[in-house]
Amino acid sequence: MLLSRFIIVSAMIAIGPLAVEAADMEIKMVDKNCWIEIFDDTKYDQTNPHLLLQGPKDYATLKGLQGKDWNDDIESIIVGPGATVRAYKERDFKGPEIVFASGQRIPKLSKLDMSNEIESMKIACEVLPSATTSSAITTP
């Protein structure tokens, strides 16, 4: 009887830390629909530099992404079906902001006065109804 209690207590002591470690582990799920593809040319030109950025992620600057300075060098975008993107004219999420809705495709950012103007962005894995998402630029 004493031996069985000893075995049970020993097992609880041995397993206890594992349960705490498991609780402390962070599980990250990747939403394959949460992304933005940026192009340095209009109309999603695949022959020129372009880049797919996976969300959720905040980019305080677009400098040095895959060895290229993307600051002020984006002319068209495609937003993934599970993403909402907030783009800013200045680094560190400052200056005028524009929100791109899930699934939105902008072949010419110049029509929104944002061609070669984006320096930072936030990619959120959320779907905003397009009716409530404006293409207008807002100033904080």
Per residue in 31-69, pLDDT (tens digit) is 799 999 999 999 999 999 999 999 999 999 999 999 999
Give the pLDDT score at 30: 64
Give the pLDDT score at 56: 96
Q: Identify the CA nearest to 32 among candidates 85, 80, 100, 101.
A: 80
Residues 35, 55 contacting (CB under 8 angstroms): yes
Model pTM? 0.72
**Tell me, what DSSP letter sits at residue 64?**
T
Q: Output the CA torsion sign for 87, 89, 90, 95.
A: negative
The structural domains of the chain, ordered by start, are 35-124 (2.60.20.10)
Both tokens of 84, joined, read 């909402």
Give the pLDDT score at 12: 56
Entry field: residues in the chain: 140
Give the pLDDT score at 132: 41
